[in-house]
């Protein structure tokens, strides 16, 4: 609509939370500074405490207790959303997530639903320094019963929350902070379409033919990857298409296999530090699934294993940027 600014990802997330609260009286929200008028450090919970004061619980600075409390609420029958102010602080609630909430789903010899979503604002490029900029996904990867999801402009957050709650499994929902203020709509240069039946994977492409590169990435890396795809095409005629999941774990690569097999090369990009992680797990599974059909080794792009600097120029140099991805796409040539 002319004259109206396009919705931002943070606004869509906020609207999704409102819709969930309006439609489901079991939903409870816990977190620090989430109460209005502040509405959370990034404004994502704005308006919720005014509309649902009995179900929005502002807490002290006590991440371990908050997530433990979420487990108790879930055991009682509530559906719980926890906002951590920064995803870096998920280290403070590792025990209740890993040993209580996730295990309780199956360690008692029966399926015991534990509908808890821990929302984690993550990622850098904001100059917040070593303890407020990380992408800690890998620390929670491969925990029995624990699902991992990523916020993106390509997926409807409300549907993700509903999928999690309907599953009965707990989840961690990673939200790259830079997305909050970015448009929730895709540049008209690209086409986006779901792959497979469950809307988990979205394919973003420019044209239909087999590309030089198939890129698999998630969350806040998507805008950077798309900028790189556009530049690689315009400046070097290197073509690429992007595959973006909402759900990082459990990982289901099957729907992508025909397209991946047709691509000349495969690139997996993650913003968490090198030395294990989601991208490596994606590559490991693809080697098994596509063995004999791969024309080149799979390329994994991650920041080196280093502390994230506070100074913006140093931080930019460490983390994966659009230029990092573009260099990779162009550097390999057309072979």
Partner 1 sequence: MLTNAGRYTTVRAGEPPGDDVSPPGDEDLATLLLIRHFEEALLRLFDRGELTGTTHTCLGQEIVPVALTPLLSPTWVFSNHRGHGHYLAQFRDPAGLLAELTGRAGALCGGMGGSQHLYREGFCSTGVQGEGVPAALGFAMHLRRTGRPGPAVAYIGDGTLGEGVVYESLNLAQLQRAPLVIVVEHNGIAQTTPTSEAMAGTVAGRAAAFGVRHVAVGGIDIAGIRTRLRGSVERVRAGDGPLVIEFRTTRLGPHSKGDDTRDPAELARLRRTDWYPRFAAADPDRFGEHDRRQRRVIDETVREVLSRPFAGGAAR
- List interacting residues with partner 1 (CB under 8 A): 28, 54-55, 57, 59-60, 62, 64-78, 95-96, 99-100, 103-104, 106-110, 112
Residue 276 forms beta bridges with which residues? none
Closer to partner 1 at the Cβ: 73 or 320? 73
Whole-number minimum distance, CB 61 to partner 1, in Å? 9
CA pair distance 118, 170, nearest whole angstrom: 8
CA pair distance 13, 16, nearest whole angstrom: 5
Whole-number minimum distance, CB 132 to partner 1, in Å? 21
Whole-number minimum distance, CB 33 to partner 1, in Å? 15
Whole-number minimum distance, CB 97 to partner 1, in Å? 11
Closer to partner 1 at the Cβ: 6 or 144? 144
Whole-number minimum distance, CB 21 to partner 1, in Å? 14
Contact 258, 206 (CB under 8 A): no
User: Which is nearest to 21 in space by CA: 1, 42, 50?
Assistant: 50
What DSSP designation does 133 have? S
Closer to partner 1 at the Cβ: 107 or 191? 107
What DSSP designation does 11 have? H
Whole-number minimum distance, CB 73 to partner 1, in Å? 4
Closer to partner 1 at the Cβ: 46 or 55? 55
Sequence-ordered list of residues with C-beta below 8 angstroms from that of 182, at least 6 positions apart, any chain: 8, 9, 153, 223
Residue 137: how many other CB atoms lie within 10 Å = 25
Helix (H, G, I), strand (E, B) or coil at 190: coil
Closer to partner 1 at the Cβ: 54 or 288? 54
Closer to partner 1 at the Cβ: 105 or 164? 105
Whole-number minimum distance, CB 109 to partner 1, in Å? 3
Residue 172 forms beta bridges with which residues? 118, 148
Whole-number minimum distance, CB 51 to partner 1, in Å? 16
Closer to partner 1 at the Cβ: 114 or 221? 114
- Record the tokens describing residue 282, joined without a space: 């994606």
Number of separate helices (H) and strands (E) present in the chain: 11, 13
Sequence-ordered list of residues with C-beta below 8 angstroms from that of 201, at least 6 positions apart, any chain: 194, 195, 243, 244, 245, 255, 256
- Record the tokens describing residue 110, joined without a space: 């029966």
Closer to partner 1 at the Cβ: 99 or 185? 99
CA pair distance 176, 195, nearest whole angstrom: 23
Closer to partner 1 at the Cβ: 50 or 191? 50
- Record the tokens describing residue 259, joined without a space: 């397209």
Whole-number minimum distance, CB 58 to partner 1, in Å? 10
Q: Exposed, middle or buried, 240 (CB in 10 Å: 0-12/13-18/19+)?
A: buried
């Amino acid at each position: 609509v002319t004259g109206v600014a396009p919705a931002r990802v943070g606004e869509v997330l906020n609207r999704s939370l409102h819709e969930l609260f309006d439609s489901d009286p079991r939903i409870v929200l816990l977190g620090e500074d989430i109460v209005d008028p502040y509405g959370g450090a990034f404004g994502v919970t704005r308006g919720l405490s005014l509309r649902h004061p009995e179900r929005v619980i502002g807490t002290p600075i006590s991440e371990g207790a908050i997530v433990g409390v979420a487990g108790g609420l879930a055991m009682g029958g509530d559906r719980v959303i926890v906002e951590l102010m920064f995803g870096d602080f998920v280290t403070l609630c590792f025990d209740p997530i890993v040993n209580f909430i996730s295990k309780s789903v199956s360690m008692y010899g029966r399926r015991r639903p534990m509908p808890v979503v821990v929302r984690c604002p993550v990622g850098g490029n904001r100059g917040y320094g070593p303890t407020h900029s990380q992408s800690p996904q890998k620390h929670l990867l491969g925990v029995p019963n624990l699902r991992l999801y990523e916020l993106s402009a390509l997926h409807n957050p409300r549907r993700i929350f509903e999928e999690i709650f309907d599953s009965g499994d707990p989840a961690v929902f990673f939200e790259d902070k830079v997305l909050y203020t970015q448009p929730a709509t895709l540049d008209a240069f690209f086409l986006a379409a779901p792959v497979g039946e469950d809307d988990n994977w979205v394919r973003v492409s420019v044209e239909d033919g087999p590309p030089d590169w198939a890129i698999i990435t998630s969350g806040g890396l998507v805008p950077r990857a798309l900028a790189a795809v556009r530049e690689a095409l315009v400046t070097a005629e290197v073509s690429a298409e992007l595959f973006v999941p909402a759900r990082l774990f459990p990982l289901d690569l099957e729907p992508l296999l025909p397209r991946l097999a047709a691509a000349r090369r495969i690139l997996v990009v993650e913003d968490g530090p090198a030395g294990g992680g989601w991208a490596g797990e994606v590559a490991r599974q693809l080697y098994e699934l596509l063995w004999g059909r791969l024309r080149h080794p799979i390329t994994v792009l991650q920041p080196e294993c280093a502390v994230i600097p506070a100074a913006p120029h140093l931080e930019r140099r460490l983390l994966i940027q659009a230029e990092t991805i573009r260099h990779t796409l162009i550097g390999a040539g057309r072979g």
